[in-house]
Copies of this chain bind each other. A is one copy, B any other.
Amino acid sequence: MIERDNPLEGYLAKIESRRPLSQDARDAFLALPVEPEHYDIYREIVREDDRTSRCCLIIQGCVSRFKTLPNGERQINSFHFDNDMVDLQSALLLVSDHGIRTHSPTTVLRIDCNAVLQLTIDQPEWAHAFWFDTLVDAAVFREWMLNVGRRVAVGRVGHLILEIFHKLSRIGRTEGYKFVMPITQNDLADAVGLSAVHTNRSLQQLREHGMISSIGRTFSIDDFEAMKRLSSFDPAYLHPAGPRVVNPECS
């Protein structure tokens, strides 16, 4: 019998929205031993070069993955919100090549990597589910690389805003085209490869063109189509449709 209010249910629901699991797979996942932890804003959950043995599932909050240069410059690689499994990679990779840091007070669930690995052996469905998660991660990295490498400043910022909006809307943190932006301009800058000042000016350009408006941290996307055009945003790279279905009658 499935326990109600198991904190793992949110992630389970997300996985099953892509593709339903067998009852066995479901039960095995919900039986994983977990440790809840709470972090304040701007805490490092994982330090670069750490040897971690636990991945973490975000219950509520916002974190980023990032890498830094010897001179202190930082590049944020991705943002993650509720029901995202972060650092799933530590299941197989021995050392973390990047850090993980909170951008708001965040509750996470720590799960032992060996337990995760064992789950993928006992339940191949989970091997596919986690692999799919990793593939989507990689797809997002590619899109961000394009963003940082080839888009002009306004386009970069616009693209990031649309991605954040898209992700927040999936977890019910938007109202129509309004949402509260959980990330400061400084951190947005580190995500798009610009200086904070130039990020600020790009935001102003978006406002001048009537594409967004904001009061404090509350953003509103006023011209969604223009934003999409400007930043050539196409949510396909987030692969919302879920994984390919295994076709057993094929060799």
- Is A151's CB within 8 Å of the partner chain B? yes
Closest residue of B by beta carbon distance from A98: B142
In the complex, which residues of chain B have a beta carbon less than 8 angstroms from the beta carbon of A130?
131
Asked if A141 is at the interface (CB within 8 A of a chain B CB), the reply is yes
Range class of the A interface residue count: 35 or more
Q: Which of A69, A92, A251 has most B Cβ within 10 Å?
A: A92
Q: Which of A39-47, A101-109, A219-227, A237-245 contacts B (4 or more CB under 8 A)?
A: A237-245
Residue of B whose beta carbon sits closest to that of A155: B69
**In the bound complex, how far is the Cα of B244 from the Cα of A183, in angstroms?**
34
Contact of B117 with A244 in the complex, beta carbons under 8 Å: yes
29 contacts between A and B (CB under 8 A): A67-B143, A67-B145, A69-B150, A69-B232, A70-B232, A73-B150, A92-B243, A92-B244, A93-B135, A93-B136, A94-B244, A113-B244, A117-B128, A118-B248, A118-B250, A118-B251, A121-B124, A124-B127, A127-B131, A131-B131, A134-B135, A137-B138, A138-B138, A138-B141, A141-B142, A144-B145, A145-B145, A148-B148, A148-B149
